[in-house]
Structure 1
Amino acid sequence: MTLNPELLQKLANTAGTPFWLYDAATLRQRIADIKFITDSPGVQARFAMKACPATKVLQEMQKAGIWIDAVSGNEVLRALAAGFQGGQEPAQVCLTCDVFRDNALDVVLKHGVLPNIGSPGQIQDLVKAGYKGAISVRVNPGFGHGHVNACDTGGPSSKHGIWFEDFAEINKAAQAAGFPIHMLHAHIGSGPQFDELVDNLTQLAEEFASFLPQLPYLRSVSLGGGIPHNYRDPQAKVPLERLKKLFADCRERLVAAAGRPIGLEIEPGRYYVAPTCILVAKVTDVKRTRDNIKGAGATFAMVDAGFVDLVRPAMYGSYHRITVLPHDGAQRPEVPIVVAGPLCESGDVFTRDDQELLQPRDLPQPEAGDLLVLHDAGAYGYAMSSNYNSIGRAPQLWLEEDGSVQMISRRETLADLLKAECSEKLSV
């Protein structure tokens, strides 16, 4: 996204700060990238909508023929409301979860979406609920990781999926319940370097190929997401041609192992949306601490966005590029700055490392009234925002390719925060 300081200031004056701004052109380019790498016979892309479930984003996916991977009953309902179809012919929406909570089972029964189970007990959950239909099985292949250990999606430390050596037992339980397995699924994460990602995906396809003789009803195999986005280098490019060939080759290997047509799916989340959105905040003050026996002092730029808005840096030390837009347009020298938010929480800092230590960033000397931009906030930004300190979530704005801007969700008010509170007597 190309920053337009004049536009951002106008939006700040109109919508207030902080606010989220999505760039339609960037999103559509990322969608086009995924369409390119899945433009081979029998290959289908999904969107892991947990990364950014905004209706406007879902509608862009639906128009492009991208299917949905949902992880809760409400995500399924959001996808249906955005225009996706329920049912399994085809399974445009898949529900992937390790636990059926809240309305998940009801949604599966009512809308017939494909349940992608990640825990053995879910088979009996479906039986007890009266489910009749096919299932998908999420397998933990024993390898794969995220950019930090807390984001591991495969291997012994991951809670996701059914351990690969236990698959035969799960297959027997599914057969006994009358649930044909239509899809095998795994997700190995987007943490590896690209060559490692290719090796992991190839290994995953080979492991799944070994399962196919046991699965006469299998229709497709999902290799999950994992296409990386470089948060530090906006010019970094993913070798799309290589991915396209990889997915076509993996699909051919699966077809050969099965002796019949088998589809191949991928389900990126981060890659589509990470660069499509920025979080814009205002600098409210600059203050300093001094060196003492506890450590070095720092210069803090206080801003009105916090981890209620973008939690990733506080949660696991994720890196987001930062731009300071001086209110007077002046060129200022760069100095080491810690960017901190408004919350009553010491961890409300955007410039920290994955060891939870302050990591000052060289930025133009900020002043009160400047705008500060946190880049690449589209993936798990608004989606993971909260109401801590009773703060309403910031508005989401959408920048169209013709330069027009619309608000796609307003700033939350106290009434929004209180509307779920009640005083209802329960019969116990």
Structure 2
Amino acid sequence: MDERLLTGTMKINEKNHLEVGGIDTIELVNKYGTPSYVYDIEAVKQKARAFKAVFSKRKVKAQVAYASKAFSCLAIYQLMAKEGLSLDVVSGGELYTAIKAEYPSEKIHFHGNNKSDDEMFAGLDYQVGCFVVDNFYELDRLNQFTSERKQRMKILIRVTPGVEAHTHDYISTGQNDSKFGFDLENGQAKQAAILASQMPYIDVIGLHSHIGSQIFELEGFNLAINKMLTYSKKWKEEFGFDLSVLNVGGGFGIQYTVEDEPLSIAEYIDSIITEVENVTDALGLNMPEIWIEPGRSLVGDAGMTLYETGSQKSIPDVRHYLAIDGGMSDNIRPALYHAKYTGVLANRANDQASDLYSIAGKCCESGDMLIWDLPLPKPQKKDILAVFSTGAYGYAMASNYNRIPRPPVIFVENGSDFLAIQRETYNDLMRLEHSLLSNN
């Protein structure tokens, strides 16, 4: 196999098996079955520390917030809290999980473009660190609720800076025509800042932007930083706007296949710090606290999914299909926006590839194709296919389509494994249902 795909603690052991966290993946399969999500916890910790280390080295005040929509569960929240990270939540469910994890409330940033009243009440009750306000409707309601409670709340104003990252339309968020945020260029962001500054229990601490995901270049971040700081300077002169926090979001790219060439964590963060320092100095502004929101870049390539191979179909002069016991129910990204993955037979990791095989999921959809044209040795009965970089938006976007139970999530580190989320059963699928027969 191509060793460029081995990240974190992954290696090929003397049995020719893929190993991660000091554990043979075949042993994990024997214990937990397939499909299974497996997370390399040492790799997650190293990435969390790498983000923090750059700010520490540059002596810049900052918050690194885990963008937990990438992967949310009790154990991953507890891990991020131990690593000293802040937490970005986007729903009442994520906030509820954070509360159950006893996440420090002051480190929680509550996002979302359509927070319900109950979600806002939950954030206020738990006294989260800040709300990231997305629109005038939310701003008005937050003003109402904080006034009724006589409770102060810090907010960031989410803006669309008019910067389009080079990414898929579904994961681009910084352009003017977006469902997220207040537009900088048409004056909506300014209006929101003025209104918020007049609200008795609202403290505007800064601006937030998120220009997209899976970004491999620095220009987009620099343009967004320049725009937000330039407008902040104008607003300071016009109505005394004080920017103490600049949140530049996340979107830092990771490697899914060998064609992907993301920058290092240090390169992304050093560039962001330098741009903020240079622009604030040029504009005569005070250096703000910098917040970032890595999600995928913390957990994406630290995760893999293990599948058992099944049926095969060969179409002469066209392709070979190899089916697995999972698919779009545990990884919707290839069907949703043609995301590319790669993998290896975990039980025959260094065997020579004999042909190209297209990996088909088991869902009853022709679009349930996980990988096209993957070089593999000739598959044998019940081989184990490891698909790399499934740690972000795998379990988070998993479904029970075709009544398929969701896989378990296993954490591995230093030769030990921990069941973070158990496998769903058929009984779990029926747990909330009621029978018509019981009424007859």
Displacement of 1:349: 0.6
1:379-414 residue CA offsets vs partner (Å, 9 max, x unmatched): 1111111111111110111111x2011211110112
1:123-162 residue CA offsets vs partner (Å, 9 max, x unmatched): 1222444464332210011113362111111113422111
More displaced stretch, 245-254 vs 66-75: 245-254
Residue of structure 2 in register with 1:118 after alignment: 134
Answer whether contact 1:153 1:189 (CA < 8 A) is retained: yes
The reply on whether 1:298 has 2:358 as its aligned counterpart is no
Structure 2 residue corresponding to 1:335, chosen from 355, 368, 372: 355
Normalising by structure 1, we get a TM-score of 0.86
Residue of structure 2 in register with 1:13 after alignment: 30
- Looking at structure 2, the residues matched to 185 and 237 of structure 1 have their Cα atoms a distance apart, in angstroms, of 23
The reply on whether 1:311 has 2:332 as its aligned counterpart is yes
* Alignment CA distance shift 1:158-1:235 (3 Å): closer
Structure 2 residue corresponding to 1:97, chosen from 103, 112, 116: 112
Residue of structure 2 in register with 1:142 after alignment: 162
* Alignment CA distance shift 1:258-1:71 (3 Å): farther
The reply on whether 1:322 has 2:334 as its aligned counterpart is no
* Alignment CA distance shift 1:234-1:24 (3 Å): farther
- Looking at structure 2, the residues matched to 64 and 330 of structure 1 have their Cα atoms a distance apart, in angstroms, of 35
Answer whether contact 2:221 2:248 (CA < 8 A) is retained: no
1:167-226 residue CA offsets vs partner (Å, 9 max, x unmatched): 122123323433231231001123443243453354345445435514545431101112
Normalising by structure 2, we get a TM-score of 0.84
- Looking at structure 2, the residues matched to 70 and 275 of structure 1 have their Cα atoms a distance apart, in angstroms, of 21
The reply on whether 1:58 has 2:77 as its aligned counterpart is yes
Structure 1 residue corresponding to 2:256, chosen from 194, 213, 231: 231
- Looking at structure 2, the residues matched to 378 and 196 of structure 1 have their Cα atoms a distance apart, in angstroms, of 27
Answer whether contact 2:222 2:272 (CA < 8 A) is retained: no
SS at match of 2:340: coil
Residue of structure 2 in register with 1:285 after alignment: 311
Residue of structure 2 in register with 1:375 after alignment: 388
Residue of structure 1 in register with 2:193 after alignment: 171
More displaced stretch, 55-64 vs 262-271: 55-64
Q: How many residue pairs end up in the alignment?
A: 406
SS at match of 2:213: coil
Displacement of 1:53: 1.4
1:295-343 residue CA offsets vs partner (Å, 9 max, x unmatched): xx3211010011111111111111112112356x883543121100111
Letter in 1 for 2:53: F
Displacement of 1:82: 2.2
Letter in 2 for 1:180: D
Answer whether contact 1:145 1:192 (CA < 8 A) is retained: yes
Residue of structure 2 in register with 1:418 after alignment: 430
Answer whether contact 2:277 2:287 (CA < 8 A) is retained: no
Gaps of 5+ in 1: 292-296, 352-358
Residue of structure 2 in register with 1:265 after alignment: 291
Answer whether contact 1:43 1:247 (CA < 8 A) is retained: no
The reply on whether 1:252 has 2:277 as its aligned counterpart is yes
- Looking at structure 2, the residues matched to 102 and 360 of structure 1 have their Cα atoms a distance apart, in angstroms, of 48
Structure 1 residue corresponding to 2:39, chosen from 10, 13, 22: 22
Residue of structure 1 in register with 2:4 after alignment: none
* Alignment CA distance shift 1:275-1:241 (3 Å): closer
1:17-58 residue CA offsets vs partner (Å, 9 max, x unmatched): 100111111111111221122223212211101111132222
Gaps of 5+ in 2: 1-6, 19-23
The reply on whether 1:42 has 2:61 as its aligned counterpart is yes
Residue of structure 2 in register with 1:356 after alignment: none
Residue of structure 2 in register with 1:363 after alignment: 376
- Looking at structure 2, the residues matched to 176 and 205 of structure 1 have their Cα atoms a distance apart, in angstroms, of 21
1:247-300 residue CA offsets vs partner (Å, 9 max, x unmatched): 333443576557556311111111111111100000012112356xxxxx3211
Residue of structure 2 in register with 1:188 after alignment: 211
Answer whether contact 1:212 1:218 (CA < 8 A) is retained: no
Displacement of 1:422: 5.0
* Alignment CA distance shift 1:241-1:121 (3 Å): same
- Looking at structure 2, the residues matched to 423 and 204 of structure 1 have their Cα atoms a distance apart, in angstroms, of 57
Structure 2 residue corresponding to 1:276, chosen from 302, 308, 313: 302
Letter in 2 for 1:184: L
SS at match of 1:350: strand
* Alignment CA distance shift 1:361-1:202 (3 Å): same
SS at match of 1:309: coil
- Looking at structure 1, the residues matched to 34 and 315 of structure 2 have their Cα atoms a distance apart, in angstroms, of 26
Answer whether contact 1:38 1:247 (CA < 8 A) is retained: no
Residue of structure 1 in register with 2:223 after alignment: 200
SS at match of 1:97: coil
Structure 2 residue corresponding to 1:390, chosen from 374, 382, 403: 403
- Looking at structure 2, the residues matched to 47 and 28 of structure 1 have their Cα atoms a distance apart, in angstroms, of 12
* Alignment CA distance shift 1:71-1:211 (3 Å): farther
More displaced stretch, 150-159 vs 269-278: 150-159
Displacement of 1:61: 1.6
Residue of structure 1 in register with 2:90 after alignment: 71
SS at match of 1:380: coil
- Looking at structure 1, the residues matched to 265 and 143 of structure 2 have their Cα atoms a distance apart, in angstroms, of 42
Letter in 1 for 2:246: V
* Alignment CA distance shift 1:253-1:216 (3 Å): farther
Q: What is the Cα-based RMSD across aligned positions, in Å? A: 2.6
SS at match of 2:114: coil
Letter in 1 for 2:141: D
